[in-house]
């Protein structure tokens, strides 16, 4: 069956460290993968998109990698700040314009 897996346990890190979140998938062949941020009581907000022919993408303190052989994406936040505390969702192209989401990983950055 098709699955998108993100670590359901919260990730706790100290301010200034690099946060690394993982997204693994099975039985999908996505043309692209996206990462979203969700704050409590709000809808997800788009952060980054990476395509299947791209290994890595960066935006300011964010970096995403995409390994289609391992069927895995890693999402990094460098020099993390308490304001980065949120739930981060990966989403992938499920075909026919459908975007399928993982359950998300909560990140807590303490001062």
Partner 1 sequence: DAGVIQSPRHEVTEMGQEVTLRCKPISGHNSLFWYRQTMMRGLELLIYFNNNVPIDDSGMPEDRFSAKMPNASFSTLKIQPSEPRDSAVYFCASTRDRSEKLFFGSGTQLSVL
Residues that bind partner 1 (CB under 8 A): 32, 34, 41-46, 49, 89, 93-94, 96-104
Look at residues 11, 3, 8 and name the one whose alpha carbon lies nearest to residue 103.
8
User: With the CA atoms of 7, 52, 91 and 12 taken in that order, what torsion angle do they form, in degrees rounded to the nearest 10?
Assistant: 30
Question: Minimal distance in Å, beta carbon 32 to partner 1?
Answer: 6
Q: Which is nearer to partner 1, 10 or 79 (CB)?
A: 10
Count of CA atoms in the C-beta half-sphere (13 A) of 65: 11
Q: Which is nearer to partner 1, 40 or 111 (CB)?
A: 40
Question: Minimal distance in Å, beta carbon 97 to partner 1?
Answer: 7
Q: Which is nearer to partner 1, 15 or 52 (CB)?
A: 52
Question: Minimal distance in Å, beta carbon 73 to partner 1?
Answer: 15
d(CA 73, CA 1): 19
């Amino acid at each position: 069956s098709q699955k998108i897996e993100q670590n359901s346990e919260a990730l706790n890190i100290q301010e200034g460290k690099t946060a690394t979140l993982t997204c693994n998938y099975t039985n999908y062949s996505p043309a692209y993968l996206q990462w979203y941020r969700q704050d409590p009581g709000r809808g997800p907000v788009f952060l980054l998109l990476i395509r299947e022919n791209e290994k890595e993408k960066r935006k300011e303190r964010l970096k995403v990698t995409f390994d289609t052989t391992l069927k895995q994406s890693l999402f990094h936040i460098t020099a993390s700040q308490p304001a980065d505390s949120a739930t981060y969702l990966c989403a992938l192209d499920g075909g026919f314009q459908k975007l399928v989401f993982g359950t998300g990983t909560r990140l807590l950055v303490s001062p």
